[in-house]
Structure 1
Amino acid sequence: MASTVLIAGLIGCSADTRPTTGGQTPPPEPTTVATPTPQVAAGSAPKNTFAVGVRQLKLNRDGRALPTTLWYPAAGQSGGAAKRSATVAEGRFPVVMFSHGLGGRPDDYAKLLTRWAAAGFVVAAPTFPHTSKGADNNVLDVLNQPADVSYALDQVLALDSAAGDALRGRLDGERVAAAGHSAGGVTTIGLFTTGRDDRLDAGVVFAGTALGVGTAFAGAAAPQLFVHGELDEVVEYAAGKAAYDKVPWPKAMLSLPKGDHGRALLGDSATLRLVSDTSVEFLRWSLYGDPEAKKRISTDATRGDLATFDDHL
């Protein structure tokens, strides 16, 4: 998982640091300012819980291998483990792009991500070429990852019109979010700043910081949910809070007084259930446009005195 290498590698980067490609000077940081126009129309999220299917995509962006795991709502009885290549449920589902932490892999987060899929979302999680488990842990390559996620999103959304693909007609490309943990949180913030992907309607940042990608949030309003442990030993809580404070859109921060860098995201615990329930309701509201889900966000967030909730949604 993420380690202190994340801080060691990014601490020398200013908030304006941008990735380089092929030795060329990167383009200047976008000057577009954030606007208050929401992108998702009002609607209703599914009330039922789905079974979950899982499959793999072999993606490659200009020599950068990006094998991507897809979790999706499946037909059949809900509950139990995700089933490989299960039949896709009926309906059209929003897409959530998830970025893992340094030294991690998508499967590490399966307990959280399968809960999202069971709630009615297609979750796509690339394995990054230099920051995943077994890679060279080149932390500065995090700055290239927002472009990796945008490329992976291109390929995932293309399945909606791909002849013969099981997800044909099942993906709602007008309702898309990005989420990520630690280095993946940096990646996610980057998708709303230096690497703004205008298709994104919302973001979820777990234990993230804006080091290297800055806080020049741009484009149409995209609600953000930050989740951070106050005892985080890798990315200081203050660093995550500082990035959160710069978000100009509807936002909320779930703070875990006893939370560390995010180990609670990896196992079935009371904290995971609270984070899962809160983030599910946030995604139901921000991607399905469900007003009833919005009412439930703060209730879930403050359940059991496990967290505090700064709510500006």
Structure 2
Amino acid sequence: MLRRSVLALALSAAALAGCGTDAPAPVSSAGTRDLELNRGGDRPLPTTVWLPDRAGAVPLIYFSHGLTSQPSDYAALLSAWTAAGFAVTAPKYPHTWNQAAEYDADDVVNQPADAQYVITGVVEALTGRIDPSRVAAAGHSAGGITTVGLFSGSRDARLKAGLIISGRQMPQPAPFSGTAAPLLFVQGRLDDTVTYEQAYGAYNEVAWPKAFLELPEGGHLPHRDDPALVAAATTDFWRWSLNDDGAARARLPRVAGLTDQL
């Protein structure tokens, strides 16, 4: 039986609207940049960067897509983060995106190294627009597994926070390691692809500040099952963890039922 130390509440979109009236007004997007990155060999990493319409250096959120997906499949969620003032970048992974010439689900084990390469490339290509001291990672499904890898066996010391949507640990789990970084898990209770037990098991292995958002009626796509809830909760998580926004931190328990471990 799972040890339910977490208060995993999921509010309806209507309740969310009532709780979020004191949130900062969004900013508009300044558009996108496309970068043709390549880690060598058979690892081309065409990457899109969404930039907010905001002067100066901004935090960067690195996003990893799921199997047979692509970054544009998550446009609504990524746009919400950009509108809040964050740069968001996402590559198409060479062997797991939906038009991969040689599809290989097992290639997910190589994606944390791809992620580190892309983060470096984006920071260098957008010098002055990206704040390298405020970088985070997020991902869905296989991208969530990739994200867990970036905080465990392939720890990237640049990462200040992480978001795992419908994700679990790698097939051969490694301990979470390095400097503590807050992690938010978002999981549908009815997910039969990455099960609730797998996601909660990964959460239980984290010794850092952490939170777990459960969607009781959600499946493998919680960001589509309740887009308003997931967008609001994750955006406030970024505002707090990357911008040290105390007001955003204060809103989180009302929006997502976070544990007192965050």
Q: Same fold (TM over 0.5)?
A: yes
> In structure 2, which of residues 63, 73, 83 is the aligned counterpart of residue 108 of structure 1?
73
Which amino acid in 2 is paired with 1:106?
P
Runs (5+) with no aligned partner, structure 2 = 1-22
Match of 2:3 in 1: none
**CA–CA distance in 2 between the matches of 1:289 and 1:214?**
31
Residue in 1 aligned with 2:147?
Answer: 188
Larger helix percent: 2
CA distance in 2, matches of 1:215, 1:297: 29
Listed one character per residue, the Cα deviations across residues 127-181 of structure 1 (whole Å, up to 9, x for unaligned) are 00000002233111100000000000000110243xxxxxxx2211101100000
- Normalised by the length of structure 2, the TM-score is 0.87
- Residue in structure 2 matched with residue 30 of structure 1 by the alignment: none
Aligned residues: 237
Match of 1:148 in 2: 114
Partner of 2:211: 252
Q: Which runs of 5+ in 1 are unaligned?
A: 1-45, 75-88, 162-168, 303-308
Asked whether the equivalents of residues 109 and 170 of structure 2 are also in contact (C-alpha less than 8 Å), the reply is no
Structure of larger gyration radius: 1
What displacement does 1:90 show? Answer: 1.1
Q: 1:96 is matched by which residue type in structure 2? A: I
CA distance in 1 between counterparts of 2:168 and 2:115 reads: 17
1:289 aligns with 2:224: no
Q: Shift in Å at residue 48 of structure 1? A: 3.8
Q: Give, in whole Å, the separation in 2 of the partners of 1:265 and 1:311.
A: 23
Q: Deviations over 1:99-149 (max 9, x none)?
A: 000000000000000000000110000100000002233111100000000
CA distance in 2, matches of 1:195, 1:111: 29
After alignment, is 183-192 or 151-160 more displaced?
151-160
In percent, how many aligned pairs have the same letter?
47
In the TM superposition, structure 1's runs of 4+ consecutive aligned residues that sit over 4 Å from their partners are none
1:215 Cα offset (Å): 4.1
Aligned equivalents of 1:109 and 1:158: distance in 2? 25
Q: Distance in 2 between matches of 1:216 and 1:233?
A: 25
- Mapped to 1, the partners of 2:236 and 2:97 lie a distance apart of 29
- Superposition CA RMSD, Å: 1.5
Counterpart of 2:229, as a letter, is L
Asked if the contact 1:174–1:199 (Cα under 8 Å) also holds between the matched residues in 2, the reply is: yes
